[in-house]
Structure 1
């Protein structure tokens, strides 16, 4: 069963770019999809997983 996703959006830094990811809200977390191939579906994370990912990005752990 897929989670209903609300409010798909991409980063404002993306401007008019089409090679981006979009983030949507689900009950307990986030959904992520590729703007180039929305029909391919999306993956989901829990709220805890999403928060840990955002914290790691802000701490530049992926550089």
Structure 2
């Protein structure tokens, strides 16, 4: 992951320390890390897992029903 190109949402504005960053990794995997701890651990997902996650965000199925 050392050579990964990490990016964060342009909607994060000037709040650069409170975001997640994502990167495309070898083998079609997706990496996700905390922008406050760039040398810390990163989660990795398959492309299918990532697409399922993004679909859930878009369709609202991942929203907290208690909120």
TM over 0.5: yes
Poorly superposed stretches of 4+, deviation over 2 Å: 3-7
Unaligned runs of 5+ in 2: none
Displacement of 1:16:
1.5
Alpha-carbon RMSD across the aligned residues, in angstroms, is 1.5
Give the structure with the larger strand fraction.
1
- Alignment TM-score, normalising by the size of structure 1: 0.83
- Alignment TM-score, normalising by the size of structure 2: 0.79
Unaligned runs of 5+ in 1: none
Give the structure with the larger helix fraction.
1
Match of 2:55 in 1: 55
